[in-house]
Amino acid sequence: MVDSPERRDPMGYYARLGVPPTATAERIKLAFRQQAKHVHPDRNVGAGAKDAFQRLNEAYQVLSDPAARAQYDARALERPASPPPPPSPSASARPAAGRFRPVPASAAGAAEGVVVPVACSGCGAITAQPRYTIYWRVVSFVVGTLRQPVQGVFCRRCADRRGLAASATTWALGWWGVPWGPFWTVKALWCNLRGGERPADLNASLLRQQALYFWATGKPALARAALDQATRLVERPELRQKLEKMRLLIGEGGREHLVDRWRPAASWAFYLHLLPVVVVTAGMLALAGHLVLTVGPPPTLATGPAATVGATPPVHPPSATTAAPPPSSPPSRSADGASPPERWHVKAGTLTLRDGPGAGHLAIGRLHQSDSVEIIARIDGWVRVRTALGQVGFVAQDFLAAGAGDDEE
């Protein structure tokens, strides 16, 4: 493959918009608007204005969609081409694996037909592990949300910077749109945390092109290492066949040891992406704990008849093991000659002494005919009494008569 506009822009879409293949999504959108002002049929009545606008719109529809643009960029790397023969060992020195700069045509031993490497869209460096990566940036405007792709061929260093910048903007401006702001914000942050979207076949094509470049510049070991990476990524059978043919052309031999720099945890950027998530989660847990300590646990809901509004919770009788309340001391006769407590007695038969005012309460003793009691209080037809033995309980007032009984005589 040679460095030509046709190879980098096979359908001429970038040329129609007047932008380079490394242009950002914002620049592509701005270029389309500027070009549309001049060629739109409503403003340009010249011949061919309608066709020119349709071609411009066709280019914009492809380049404004992240997935369609990635497929278009892949076409530039998959065009058939025969690799040139490798140069002699003295044509170029063999640098260490890592970042490279393009080798001039004279250094490769040919004035034309130089194999074009894939360079980083950010810094322009040539690496053995380029990746086509798509990050997402979300900006909300209260009643609307805008999703913007940040895509291109990057080295890992530039990819980390682009991803962190996209996530920082999304954290600050993505949440406030109604109703899709929170949804797209969470989705974009999750995508960026995982390292962005990296189309497998497109990246396999990138590595295939790098392998061709390294082989043509006298670095067969590095070319084989790039092919190994491409083989692990490739999904389409026809692309896998192209990789196998190139492997046969290069031949077997030694390989450079390349550490996979695109694992999520292999970069400091992964932990910076994760840091806001940890901080927000810890803050929410701390706030929840503070509210629990301040407000207290929520009240439990009652069930049954007592759950109705305004109902009084039932009074449950104490168990048999509950000790009876201690007898209160009888009111003493005051110095001014106040009357002593009322004396009553059981009319007839046997009367049950209970621990509460009602027949459903527990029986704690028995009174017999003519037994005298001292009335302490009256409650709805029941009286609280104290027996001659000092026991305190409740009996029905209807079974008592005024005055002391025979046991007092």
Instruction: Encode the chain (409 residues) as per-residue pLDDT tens digits.
Output: 444 445 668 889 999 999 998 888 999 999 999 988 888 888 777 777 888 889 999 999 999 999 899 888 887 776 544 444 544 444 333 444 444 444 443 333 333 456 888 899 889 999 999 999 999 999 999 889 999 999 999 999 999 999 999 999 999 999 999 899 999 999 999 999 999 999 999 999 999 999 999 999 999 999 999 999 999 999 899 999 999 999 998 888 888 888 888 988 888 899 999 999 999 999 999 988 888 888 765 555 555 554 444 445 555 555 444 444 544 444 444 444 445 678 888 887 888 889 888 888 888 888 888 888 888 888 888 889 998 888 899 988 888 888 877 655 4
Question: 25 and 135 in contact (C-beta within 8 Å)?
Answer: no
State the pLDDT at residue 3.
45
Token pair for 348: 């007839």
Q: Which of 311, 305, 402, 399 is nearest to 353 (CA)?
A: 399
State the pLDDT at residue 112.
43
Which residue spans of the chain are classified as CATH 1.10.287.110?
5-64
* Structural fold of domain 343-408: SH3 type barrels. (2.30.30)
CA 333 to chain centroid, in Å, comes to 79
Classify 116 as helix, strand or coil: coil
Q: To 10 degrees, what angle do helices 66-77 and 49-63 make?
A: 90
State the pLDDT at residue 317.
54
State the pLDDT at residue 103.
42
Residues 6+ apart with CB under 8 A from 285: none
Question: 250 and 227 in contact (C-beta within 8 Å)?
Answer: yes
Is the bond into 313 cis (omega within 30 degrees of 0)? no
Place domain 5-64 in its CATH homologous superfamily: DnaJ domain (1.10.287.110)
Which residue spans of the chain are classified as CATH 2.30.30.40?
343-408
State the pLDDT at residue 7.
60
Task: Report phi then psi at 60, rounded to 5.
Answer: -70, -40
Question: 143 and 217 in contact (C-beta within 8 Å)?
Answer: no
Q: Which residues pair with 382 in a beta bridge?
A: 379, 396
What are the helix and strand counts (H, E) for the chain?
11, 11
CB atoms within 10 A of CB 47: 8
- Distance set, CA 64 to CA 31, 160, 186, 317, 328 (Å): 11, 23, 22, 79, 92
pTM: 0.62
State the pLDDT at residue 323.
47
Helix (H) or strand (E) holding 175: none
Q: Angle at the Cα of 224 (from 266 to 200), degrees rounded to 5? A: 55
